[in-house]
Chain A
């Protein structure tokens, strides 16, 4: 059954996507800490950093939302791994029965119904894998939209840092750190989306 799309069901491809998602999860856990740090600095700076404090608080909320969204991606990857493994097993079984089909006619007749059942199962798993990839792409788009809001927040943090008086330099450093982290997440996810679009 050569119609099965090798690329779609490739466990290798799933593993690669998962590595990128794990990378983003690692980076995003840093956002929460940076945002918390920003809030504490803003609190120390007092009234002059009120704007920065508001942005920092929003960034913490963004970090929590990002965390939840990344968990959603992780669950989809789990589902893909399960289905890709099932497909690999079905393929293996298919190849064994195909080997039987290469023998004489009297033997082939016994294997044909089983082969048909295996192919039907492969069709079902293939469909599930297509659905999984589609859901993964949709979720990835949602996460990227979320990251856009994160980037806006990090830009706002940079603007608010300017009004931080004698704490301005520290606030600017923190704002740059936030911007760098969010940008890294954004570019990793964009790259992943590009890979998944192939």
Chain B
């Protein structure tokens, strides 16, 4: 069963991740769900697919009152990101789902009403979580054409969605990147195939290199900390993306 682990704590301001589900069926990609808490409000970033809802819900509910979750943030439209939407709305119909305007009429096929969605414009936006500013940072075409990361200036954490993702073998299940060179082998093919634009990639690298980031948190794989954050950005800048088709 998935478990909630706190990765940042500063009083009532916390980040937690629900990761590594040993009971997950092998045909489903493993995902990380991030919970940002600030006092009595919480935001769940990339709540995950329908098939893992019960595991995510149980992991969160075991630690906090799930009614504190007022916001969902969907980095993009993929089923492993947001297909659990209808179930979350069953639990709390008042939830707001923040996502790119581009997917505003697509994601409702997973559930929700016109009142559920808060459209993020292409240039990004700042969300308020009980007074805490969370910046939706554009990451378009990485890999989705309407794609956002979520940056917490105070915690210096960047939730990077699919950027930084790694498809890790079971024996490398550490929550954090422990050995960058070994870890990045599991990222290379993923980024070459899923990220389609070198121009978009360089634009993202330039944008996020200006941010103070202590942790870069992808939706799949392990979390980059400290110097590994810069290492990853440099590695990504040099990678020829859109080149992952096997001959």
What 1/0 mask marks residues of chain A from 92 to 120 whose CB sits below 8 Å from any chain B CB?
A: 11001101100110110011001001100
Q: How far is the CA of A103 from the CA of B3 in the complex (A)?
A: 12
Q: How far is the CA of A28 from the CA of B212 in the complex (A)?
A: 73
- A93 pairs with B62, CB closer than 8 A: no
Count of B residues near A, CB < 8 Å?
A: 16
- A107 pairs with B61, CB closer than 8 A: yes
The residue in A93, A96, A103, A114 that gathers the most chain B C-beta atoms within 10 A of its C-beta is A96
Q: How far is the CA of A104 from the CA of B1 in the complex (A)?
A: 12
Count of A residues near B, CB < 8 Å?
A: 16
Q: How far is the CA of A169 from the CA of B230 in the complex (A)?
A: 94
Q: How far is the CA of A100 from the CA of B13 in the complex (A)?
A: 27
- In the complex formed, the residue of B with least CB distance to A109 is B61
CB distance from B47 to the nearest CB of A (A): 13
- B58 pairs with A100, CB closer than 8 A: yes
Which residues of chain B are within 8 angstroms of A89 by Cβ–Cβ distance? 86
- A103 pairs with B90, CB closer than 8 A: no
The residue in B1, B54, B66, B86 that gathers the most chain A C-beta atoms within 10 A of its C-beta is B54
- In the complex formed, the residue of A with least CB distance to B57 is A100
- In the complex formed, the residue of B with least CB distance to A104 is B62
Nearest 7 interchain pairs by C-beta? A99-B54, A107-B61, A103-B58, A110-B61, A100-B54, A114-B91, A107-B58
CB distance from B100 to the nearest CB of A (A): 26
Known: A103-B1, A118-B90. A96 touches B54 (CB 8 A): yes
Given contacts A96-B54, A99-B58, A106-B62, 5 further A-B contacts (CB under 8 A): A100-B61, A107-B57, A107-B62, A110-B65, A110-B91
Per DSSP, chain B at the interface is helix
Chain B residues at the A interface, C-beta cutoff of 8 Å: 1, 50, 53-55, 57-58, 61-62, 65-67, 86-87, 90-91
Which residues of chain A are within 8 angstroms of B53 by Cβ–Cβ distance? 96
Q: How far is the CA of A184 from the CA of B3 in the complex (A)?
A: 62
CB distance from A154 to the nearest CB of B (A): 49
Which residues of chain A are within 8 angstroms of B86 by Cβ–Cβ distance? 89, 93
CB distance from B162 to the nearest CB of A (A): 24
Q: How far is the CA of A110 from the CA of B54 in the complex (A)?
A: 12
- B54 pairs with A117, CB closer than 8 A: no
The residue in B1, B87, B91 that gathers the most chain A C-beta atoms within 10 A of its C-beta is B91
Which residues of chain A are within 8 angstroms of B90 by Cβ–Cβ distance? 93, 97, 114, 117-118
Which residues of chain B are within 8 angstroms of A96 by Cβ–Cβ distance? 50, 53-54, 87
Q: How far is the CA of A104 from the CA of B62 in the complex (A)?
A: 8
- B87 pairs with A111, CB closer than 8 A: no
Q: How far is the CA of A117 from the CA of B90 in the complex (A)?
A: 8
Select B62's contact among A103, A117, A118, beta carbons within 8 Å: A103
Q: How far is the CA of A127 from the CA of B54 in the complex (A)?
A: 28
Q: How far is the CA of A177 from the CA of B208 in the complex (A)?
A: 78
The residue in A99, A103, A104 that gathers the most chain B C-beta atoms within 10 A of its C-beta is A103
- In the complex formed, the residue of A with least CB distance to B56 is A100
Q: What are 30 A-B pairs with beta-carbon distances under 8 A?
A: A89-B86, A92-B50, A93-B87, A93-B90, A96-B50, A96-B53, A96-B54, A97-B87, A97-B90, A99-B55, A99-B58, A100-B57, A100-B61, A103-B1, A103-B58, A103-B62, A104-B62, A106-B61, A106-B62, A107-B57, A107-B58, A107-B62, A110-B66, A110-B67, A111-B57, A111-B61, A111-B91, A114-B90, A117-B90, A118-B90
